[in-house]
Amino acid sequence: MTEYTTVSIPKDLADRVDETIEGTSFSSTSDLVRFLLRSIVIQHQKQGKLTEAQFEEITGQLRDLGYLE
């Protein structure tokens, strides 16, 4: 089972994100934040900052969410 933690962002930013994701495949602010963070982590892995196992785990999660084919 996946464990989760809470990340706080200002309410006005959350409202702007809600408006931004309307009509997209993101169903919540959390979905968008997870996608963006994973994208950043993948970029860092390509620069050699993550292990191959970590990269594969992140890639698998993105694939499971439908962001990668």
Please indicate whether residue 64 or residue 16 has the higher confidence score (pLDDT): 16
Q: What is the mean pLDDT of the chain?
A: 81
Instruction: Identify the pLDDT of residue 25.
Output: 92
- What backbone torsions phi and psi does residue 67 show, to the nearest 5 degrees? -85, -20
**Structural contact between residues 9 and 26, judged by C-beta atoms closer than 8 angstroms:** no
pLDDT at 67: 62
**30-60: pLDDT as tens digits:** 888 888 888 878 877 777 667 778 778 877 8
Position 69 pLDDT exceeds 70: no
| Residue 49 burial (CB count, 10 A) | 11
